[in-house]
Structure 1
Amino acid sequence: MNETHSASSGIHGTPDTPLASGSLGESLGDLWDRVFSTQPAPEQWLVIATAVLALAAVAPRPLWRLTRNAITIAHEGGHGLIALLTGRSLEGIRLHSDTSGLTVSRGKPTGLGMILTAAAGYTAPPLLGLGGAWLLAADHITLFLWLATALLLVMLVMIRNAYGALTVILTGAAFLLISWLANAEVQAAFAYTSVWFLLVGGVRPAFELQSKRRHGGAPDSDADQLARLTHAPAPLWLFLFHAVSACSLIGGGRWLLDL
């Protein structure tokens, strides 16, 4: 974004200039304090209520077909982020209305970078939930909301289809509006629900993949790709997905419940 600054001799050097600079500095300082300061921890009943709400969004199959879109965002975002961090070229991300997704990256077809990229999908939602739980346990509620908004904005740049763009925009708008306009209690409720959802919702996809493979489906799943890349059997990678999601749920849940 380009900014154009201009000054005229009529106002140059007037007492108003330092005031404007000071106001800008104070505004940036206020924003910094707002984002990085801590917020009061919510009451225990609210933490438990948000956990129940997250479970209710994951357990019923009809509702899960809708809410799973958020897990898909985290799943494909994990593929994309690790692809970039390992030096691969990220071509784009597509999210589909059936809650499937596709992340395309270019680079060496084998090696550690490709393995980490393939492994990042099913592990991303629970690990993001674990990171979010750590922030909330440290009372950085607003920081969590802003970081989530920033990650969604970065992901939006790489989306390559209309449905995916709409999904990410709506999700990001919810985080932005809550973090900017809502009071502390609403921010806490939204943040805790989001983190619980990532932790609880991060468990179910691995079981769904296991069921599909048992019935001969998903022949090109992340686990099968990892099996071809590493010569380790796909069930071993499924076990890894289960282990990461279960450990994240237990560890993140203890942080959120302050146990």
Structure 2
Amino acid sequence: MWKKERFRMNMIKESIKSVIVVNAPLKQVWDALTMPEHLNRWYSKKAEIDFRIGGKGYMNHGWGAVSEGVFTEIHEMKRFVLQSIDGDFKTITSLEKVENGIQVSIEYKASFITEMNQAAKENMLFGTNQFLENLKSVYETGIDIRSKLWKAWIGIVHTTNDEDRGTRVLQVKEGSAAAASGIKPNDVIVELDGVKIVGYESFERALNKKAVNSIAILTIERKGNVKFQVNCPVVAYPVPY
């Protein structure tokens, strides 16, 4: 659905950044990012925004996640910064006119990002990508796709494998569908239902297309280049919207 070139992603040292282009007027996109009634259309379940320098912003994102901060920079129609209450985490949102619309950039900066493992960084970035895709969908087509996000789960923590060859399992939750199917840490999932997996995001997108209570046929490589298939039940994502 979403062409690869629509998204650019970056993870460097203390920064995680995602970029998308939305084909809509600048004022409309700016309002979508700064006004609570517009944020609730595509992003938050509930937003409380005092949009001024020194004003507070609170957002319930759904799926059990909330954030709160203070606006420390505002450059009208260009850029704003929301800083966490403790001062250690900044969300930098930038807008720029480009050929096909408005380029929206969301960058996270924090000292603890350097200590996060690759799986946590990929999860954080993927979440941002999902919401930005909904921003694009709502303001280009009028369709809110949040009901289609984070539906399916098998109970693993994973990360992009070397050379984008599948996704490597780091942890298997005890009692999960993955554990019951015999999946183990260090297994590399290279296919789902015959579709090639090229990394963290590739697996998450393929899995989320599956219906809850269906079966995912996973092709796995185990130490020693042993390749085999397992039939893994797909269950509902453990945290509802």
TM-score, normalised on structure 2? 0.24
Question: Which has the greater radius of gyration?
Answer: 1
TM-score, normalised on structure 1? 0.22
Question: Which one has a larger percent strand, Structure 1 or Structure 2?
Answer: 2
Question: Which one has a larger percent helix, Structure 1 or Structure 2?
Answer: 1
